[in-house]
Structures are given as C-alpha cells and as structure tokens.
Amino acid sequence: MDQRPSKFTVDVETSDLKIWEKILSMLTPNEQKQADKSKSEIRVPYLGAKEIVVRTSDNKDIAFAAISDSYGQKVDWSVYREN
C-alpha cells in the first residue's frame, strides 16, 4: 500500500503554482507524468475555501486537494488521490 503523505502546510500567500507543485509531489511518479495543469481546475466554492482537481489530458480525475484548516498565516491542504 502506498504510504504517501496526504496533507501539507503552506503560507497563506503561497502561489497556486507552488500549491500545484506540492500536490504533485504527493502523487506517484506515473500520476505526476499524467497530470495536465491545463485540464485541471481551481475552484473557490466560498470565501476562504479553495479546491484543486488534478486531471489528465483526457479529463480523468487523478486527485482532489482542498484547504482543510487555516490558522494565522498558515493553511493546511489535504490531498485525496483517486486510486
């Protein structure tokens, strides 16, 4: 069973690109190769929330990441792999 971490913490001001890179680092090498940033989606369902859906070039979902907690200048993200 894959024991990759499923959570990371970043500063509130961290760019979407850096968050994308952190999410990718939690995926398998094969998933990383398949991930297509142009097909992926960033959602802001409500103020203070952010979600990122990582997809392949053929629109298959690989992973879902969302802010799970925030405190001070830090934000916790949780990553859920589709496999």
Q: Could you write out the DSSP letters of every residue in 25-79?
A: HTS-HHHHHHB-TTT-EEE--STT--EEEEEBTT--EEEEEEEEEEETTEEEEEE
pLDDT tens digits along 33-46: 999 999 999 999 99
The residue with greater pLDDT, 4 or 22, is: 22
Q: At 7, which helix (H) or strand (E)?
A: strand 7-11
Q: What is the pTM of this model?
A: 0.88
Distance CA(61)–CA(35), nearest Å, equals: 9
